[in-house]
Amino acid sequence: MGKDFKKLRKKMVEEQLIKRNIKDEAVLKAFRSVKREKFMLDENEEYAYQDGAQSIDAGQTISQPYIVAFMLQALKLKASDKVLEIGTGSGYAAALLAEIAQEVYTIERIEELAVKARKVLSDLNYDNVGVKVGDGSLGWQENAPYDAILVSAAAPYVPEKLVEQLNKKGRLVIPVGEKKGVQQLKLITKKYSGKIKKESLEYVRFVPLLGEDSWR
């Protein structure tokens, strides 16, 4: 008998998200819908709903569900939003974004991961997601401006191009800090005036964002 992933998904939402103050209904609904097991390595599928990060291809990770939920909630996403994700990885966060927002664009530095994520997203009928291989620290200018940007890798500072590609009233969530160690999530909000508001959120651990305007 295989695992009852639907039941495990429901339990994950109740115990890992709701009990930790994830209240955004759109975010909770997305987590109830997206099949995390489809984004795991086959040998790790049974751990899909455990409370932690898991290994994926190319020495990368699929983040802990709670941290992804926390970041999505901080972005205050709306159904009409156009969102950019930096660091596609397995494609799991892109699928969650696609459940909430109208348009999603996601960039991955490692071609092997981008190709696999594109296939999984396509197989699951997420046709509102565009996947590109490239340097995430420079954003994706062709589709800018964005209402929200989610950075799923840690930078030493907030890359300038990402802030430039935000819409007025746009929001950006990014882990900033050490390359190997602890980082802090930063929420950047662009005001109508063009001024930037910065807030510090939770402490996290992410793989480094490698690129021209980040870690080399």
Among all residues, which ones are annotated catalytic? 63
Phi-psi label, residue 101: left if phi above 0, alpha if psi -120 to 50, beta otherwise: beta
Q: Phi/psi at 7 (nearest 5 deg)?
A: -65, -45
Q: Are 205 and 178 in contact (CB under 8 A)?
A: no
CA dist., res. 161 & res. 76, Å (int): 21
CA dist., res. 43 & res. 39, Å (int): 12
CA dist., res. 155 & res. 70, Å (int): 18
